[in-house]
């Protein structure tokens, strides 16, 4: 009986001729003025989004591995407009499949989609200009009118502080021109990439970065690029609030060389250093132990001594590099990191430990052949 009564009331309400739409519509509050921080975020996005492109390697579909390790999805990513000559910067791993096929010069390795000011999008074939697997960076080039290109503005990653605001723009899961906001949550992180390199000094952020964001920009509150989004730490394949970006200082140093030479002219000693685990077994507790130093190398010509075996088969330790330009060296990995701050041709002073004495050698760095 109660059900019948309820039905009757409902029928009456629905059919009540005295009711108007206005009577059953709650008041709508007019849109208020946006907060200054919201206005600034919108302005930053609208200014930067035209400098962000979609980069697609048609030879590989994204595949995520739930390993709990730092994961770098491949195949579909983002990129930034570097200049009005058509250079596009992205991650090496985004086009890694195409690069593994050793493309011929001038062969298209990706499709790049640009957003025009009228909201339309246009795809261009992109050829490879240069790539560096170690830094997980690649430069592409598209043939398009200069007036449609909106190059990014670069900031400084060396001045970043934990806690400052940052924004990530990219194409996560194929959703183009997506904005996420967060803070710098860590600095100077060393992360291992799936393409076999270690990116030192990486920026950690809690801004949501997902598959497809790779190669896109991380920008500061002024809209300047401070990093290139490259990796996420995840157990599910999606953002877990711990993401990483290549510092823009590294990008600004690497990209011009890729444009000019197609590769990075990396400085090196061109000597063989003992792995740190081996050095410890030989009782070298501090520094980088030299295993071999070819006489043809600049370091060899300067007098750097290698490790060798004595007449009785005993191991005679070579020089142990303990400082470069008065910067202490504790391990061979530290030496490699420090050399990244130099250029081919720079004069360096090595302080080496030899027969329990300190010796200083001087020479100019040459291009690494390793």
DSSP secondary structure string for all residues of 122-189: EEEEEEEEEEETTTTEEEEEE---GGG-----B--STT--TT-EEEEEE-GGG--SEEEEEEEEEEEE
**214 included as an active-site residue:** yes
Torsion sign (Cα): 204, 210, 211, 215: negative
Report the distance separating Cα 133 and Cα 91, nearest Å: 9
Q: Which of 51, 87, 132, 136 is catalytic?
A: 136
**Is residue 136 annotated as part of the catalytic site, yes or no?**
yes
Catalytic residue (choose from 200, 214, 239, 297) = 214
Q: Which two tokens stand for residue 287?
A: 């520094």
Q: Where are the alpha helices (DSSP H) in the chain?
A: 2-15, 36-48, 96-99, 248-261, 276-281, 298-301, 332-339
Rounded CA separation 76/55 (Å): 6
Is 87 known to be catalytic? no
Candidate list 93, 132, 202, 332, residue with the active-site label: 93
211: tokens are 């598959």
- The Cα–Cα gap between 139 and 149 comes to 15
Cβ(219)–Cβ(225) under 8 Å?
yes
Catalytic residues: 93, 136, 214
């Amino acid at each position: 009986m109660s059900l019948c009564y309820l039905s009757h009331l409902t029928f009456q309400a629905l059919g009540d001729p005295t009711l108007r739409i206005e009577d059953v519509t709650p008041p709508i509050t007019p849109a208020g003025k946006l907060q200054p921080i919201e206005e600034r975020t919108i302005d930053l996005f609208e200014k930067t989004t035209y400098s962000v492109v979609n980069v697609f390697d048609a030879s590989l579909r994204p595949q995520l591995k739930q390993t709990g390790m730092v994961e770098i999805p491949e195949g579909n990513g983002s990129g930034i407009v570097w200049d009005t000559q058509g250079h596009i910067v992205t991650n090496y791993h985004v086009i890694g499949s195409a690069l593994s096929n050793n493309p011929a010069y001038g062969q298209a390795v990706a499709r790049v989609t640009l957003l025009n000011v009228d909201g339309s999008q246009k795809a261009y074939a992109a050829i490879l200009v240069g790539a560096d697997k170690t830094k997980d960076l690649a430069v592409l080039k598209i043939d398009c009118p200069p007036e449609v290109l909106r190059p990014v503005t670069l900031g400084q990653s060396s001045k970043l502080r934990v806690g400052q605001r940052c924004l990530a723009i990219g194409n996560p899961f194929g959703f183009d021109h997506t904005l996420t906001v967060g803070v710098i949550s860590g600095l100077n992180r060393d992360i291992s990439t799936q393409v076999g390199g270690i990116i030192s000094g990486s920026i950690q952020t809690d801004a949501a970065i997902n598959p497809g964001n790779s190669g896109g920009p991380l920008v500061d509150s002024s809209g300047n690029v401070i990093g290139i989004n490259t990796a996420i730490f995840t157990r599910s394949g999606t953002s877990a609030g711990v993401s990483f970006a290549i510092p823009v200082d590294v990008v600004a140093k690497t990209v011009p060389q890729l444009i000019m030479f197609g590769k990075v002219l990396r400085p090196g000693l061109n000597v063989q250093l003992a792995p740190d685990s081996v050095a410890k077994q030989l009782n070298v507790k501090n520094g980088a132990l030299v295993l071999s130093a070819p006489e043809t190398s600049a370091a060899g010509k300067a007098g750097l001594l290698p490790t060798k075996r004595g007449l009785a088969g005993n191991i005679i330790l070579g020089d142990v590099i303990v400082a470069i330009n008065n910067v202490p060296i504790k391990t061979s990995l530290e030496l490699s990191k420090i050399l990244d701050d130099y250029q081919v041709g720079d004069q360096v002073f090595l302080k080496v430990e030899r027969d329990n004495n300190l010796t200083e050698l001087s020479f100019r760095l040459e291009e690494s052949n390793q």
